[in-house]
Amino acid sequence: MSFPERLEVPEEVLEIARTLERAGHEAWCVGGALRDTLLQNPHSDYDFATSARPEEVQALFRHTVAVGVKHGTVGVLDRGRVLHEVTTFRRDVATDGRHAVVEYGVRLEEDLARRDFTINAIAYHPLRHEWRDPFDGAQDLVRGVVRAVGDPAERFREDYLRILRAVRFAARFGFTIEPDTWLAAKAAAPGLSRLSAERVRDEWLKGLGTARKVTELVELWTDIGAAAIWLPELRGAGTLPPAADAVSPPRDAVLLTILLTTNPEEVLRRLKASNADIRRAAAAAAGPASPSANDPTAVRRWLSSVGDAADDLLALWTLRHAAEPEWAGPMRAVRERGDPLSRTDLAITGRDLQALGASGRRIGEILGLLLERVLTAPELNSRDTLLALAREKL
């Protein structure tokens, strides 16, 4: 691949580079933005590598975020409030496979040498329009290869998360992992157990959201040894419905986790997902997966029982069968009409029942009976009708 003479870098990004350069510092665009630009993939943010130390970056810009100051990274907000990471040239002086102790005051070439893969070790000077590619990353982009910078075994020992990053990039771009890099990653895979659950979670969810084919991501996680350590509930790629690959990125990664694993609630707990995502998984697993029939009454009863999980269950059914179910139409019609589906949808409340003389648990029992009636006949959901029915239960 021959580099273009110049990249069309947004003016807001050029302002960051000019500010750093005017202060006497080097400012190079690096990393994923360059990779994605060369692959003609859309992106919104640019990362910088600079000779400026973190405190100097913070002093130069009005709007900054301390995204990783102890590792040399400061987030700089441009005029459009887009965050760009500005990281001091650095090299690792010590690492335990999870965290690195870094040293500043090095050159760009040394900074690029500590990066994970050649396709991420390209630099471009947005003001002088100069390129640096000491590890032939551009050629690997042409070849469709994920290759470690330098000694792959050393790169993975520095940070075991790079194993999952290699898998994610391969699945996202449809690349292969270079043989020596693959062998080193497999050999280092036991070190994945030392990573934090949050870092693994982020790689898993980003991988699902961006992979060209979900089945390829599953195969890579399995073959490299990551699934055995972190996702033993992961189904084999051969058992997945073809429709799992039909959904274009970005995808709903939590929904796919529900589809791809035998116990998604446990998986998401292990990965320290949000409580909302864990609840989604639990509700989808509880089901039932579909109404008992396709008629409106059965659909209303099902919607009432599954609550907020209805949309996930519909999406899962569609993925598994590569087509929408017959009950999808009645489901939408029920919602469009605003048919009552829960006690809060009833035309009367517990206070109305109290006024009739009901008390304690009997109030809940009567509301439940009334809901049963209106699930069958939504037209009964009027205040006068429900009060009359309630009097019959007292």
Q: Is the pLDDT of residue 371 over 90?
A: yes
86, β-bridge pairs: 48, 74
Residue 99 has pLDDT above 70, yes or no: no
User: H-helix or E-strand containing 187?
Assistant: helix 179-188
**Residue 202: pLDDT over 80:** yes
Pick from 259, 227, 250, 256: which is nearest to 172 by CA? Answer: 250
pLDDT band at 237 (very low <50, low <70, confident <90, very high): confident
Mean pLDDT computed over every residue of the chain: 94
pLDDT confidence bin for 15, thresholds 50/70/90: very high
Beta bridge partners of 250: none
Q: How is residue 4 written in tokens? A: 């273009």
Amino acid at 384: D
Worst-scoring range by mean pLDDT, 136-150, 227-241, 338-352?
A: 227-241
Give the Cα separation of 88 and 105 in Å (integer).
Answer: 8
Q: Token pair of 269, please?
A: 């707990």
Q: What is the pLDDT of residue 93?
A: 61
Please say whether the structural domain 1-143 has been given the CATH code 3.30.460.10: yes
pTM of the model: 0.90
- The pLDDT-based confidence of 97 (bands split at 50, 70, 90) is low
Output the pLDDT for position 234.
96
* Range with lowest mean pLDDT among 88-92, 119-123, 170-174: 88-92
| pLDDT at residue 96, rounded to an integer | 66
Strand partners, 148: 117
What is the tens place of the pLDDT at every residue in 42-84?
777 899 999 999 999 999 999 999 998 888 999 999 988 999 9
Rounded Cα distance between 124 and 103, Å, is 22
Are 221 and 227 in contact by the 8 Å Cβ rule? The answer is yes
In the block, which residue shows the tokens 């509880």? 286
Average pLDDT of span 7-23: 95
Instruction: Quick: pLDDT tens for 347-356.
Output: 999 999 999 9
Q: From CA 23, how far away is CA 356, in angstroms rounded?
A: 78
